[in-house]
Amino acid sequence: MIYDNHSIENRIIYASDLAIIGLIISELKTEGMDIIVLGDFNTDFDRNCEYTNMLEEFLNKNNLIPADRLNQQLVNYTYKSKSKSSWIDHVICDSNNSNIQNINIIENLQNRSDHNPITLETPRISEITAGLNKLETMILKFRNETSKDKIKLQATALINEISSHLINATIKTKNEFMNKKRKKRRIGDLKYKIWWDKIIQEIHNKLIDKYIAYRKSSFAYEPGKEYKEAKREFRLRKRLNIKLKRNKSLRTLDHLLRLDKDMFWKKVRQLSSKKNTVDI
């Protein structure tokens, strides 16, 4: 998640990312899947700030909990710099999930990252056992290697293999999401956000495609720039859709923009005569 530099732009991005994650979680829950979200949320629950408030609201709204905070940790931080340490990486899951156990923050002097790893135990899924076995074999070779040159090569291969699994998982999740959206909504299905429509769905699909390309490029500058632009487009459309739902006059104008020019200006003159105002 994006870091907190106290700017409005970053806070909007943070809130937008949480909204997207929440939508995906809701879709997965309708399929009866267990939810586990792991990563850098860039906020510490012990500190009172805007990011913490947004994350806590997100967890309460989706009936989720920070499982890494349930038990006392021997190491109580996941990020450390020269001036401070903080617990900003978390394991998020359903409040009634009993499959996740033994969550531990690990501190290792050989770790060259500024973040500590978090380990956990959960039942394996048969579909991904083959991929896990391959990763375990590569990790075993990596641990037993003593040559610096070979360690570098094996570390690169291991990171590429992990990235490949993450990209494939993202693509599979996107495909499942699209298949679900194509089906006609039945009674009891997910009730979507009032601002979600066909246009923002297309923008969201573009956003996912840009993220996958960004990830495949090993986070290169140009794909990253395109990904940020796609996120900006998504946020702008979301704000517009919310205003369209709240403002009847603005909603009418948006509808008329899709009609022929003569009909559009005819309706604009009618609205002007009623002295309606539109605040965009």
pLDDT of residue 124: 67
pLDDT of residue 116: 92
Report yes or no on 92 lying in a domain: yes
Task: Judge whether residue 279 has pLDDT over 70.
Answer: no
pLDDT of residue 42: 93
Q: How many domains is the chain built from?
A: 1
Task: Judge whether residue 187 has pLDDT over 50.
Answer: no
DSSP characters over the chain = -----S-HHHHHHHHHHHHHHHHHHHHHHHTT---EEEEE-S--TTS-SHHHHHHHHHHHHTTEEEGGGSS--SS--SEE-SS-EE--EEEEEETT--S-EEEEE---TT--SSB--EEEE-PPPGGGHHHHHHHHHHHHHHHH---HHHHHHHHHHHHHHHHHHHHHHHHHHHHHHHHHHHSPP-TTS----TT--HHHHHHHHHHHHHHHHHHHTTS-HHHHHHHHHHHHHHHHHHHHHHHHHH-HHHHHHHHHTTS-HHHHHHHHHHHHHTT-----
Report the alpha-carbon distance of residue 241 to residue 237 in Å, rounded: 6
Report the alpha-carbon distance of residue 195 to residue 249 in Å, rounded: 16
Name which residue leads in pLDDT, 92 or 3: 92
Name which residue leads in pLDDT, 104 or 244: 104
pLDDT of residue 209: 86
**Least confident residue range of 91-95, 101-105, 157-161:** 157-161
pLDDT of residue 191: 44
Report yes or no on 149 lying in a domain: no
- Band (pLDDT 50/70/90 cuts) for residue 127 is low
pLDDT of residue 50: 92
Query: What are the backbone angles phi and psi of residue 111, rounded to the nearest 5°?
Result: -75, 120
Report yes or no on 178 lying in a domain: no
C-beta separation of 2 from 13 below 8 A: yes
Report yes or no on 137 lying in a domain: no
For the stretch 33-72, pLDDT in tens is 888 999 999 999 999 999 999 999 999 999 999 999 988 8
- When mean pLDDT is compared over 14-28, 58-72, 103-117, 167-181, the highest value belongs to 58-72
Report yes or no on 185 lying in a domain: no
Report yes or no on 113 lying in a domain: yes
Output the CA–CA distances (angstroms, integers) from residue 10 to 13, 15, 87, 88, 235, in the order listed.
5, 9, 20, 16, 12
Report yes or no on 27 lying in a domain: yes
Q: Could you tell me the residue range of the domain that residue 59 belongs to?
A: 1-123
* CATH number of the domain residue 14 falls in: 3.60.10.10
pLDDT of residue 159: 84
Report yes or no on 214 lying in a domain: no
pLDDT of residue 190: 42
Report the alpha-carbon distance of residue 68 to residue 53 in Å, rounded: 18
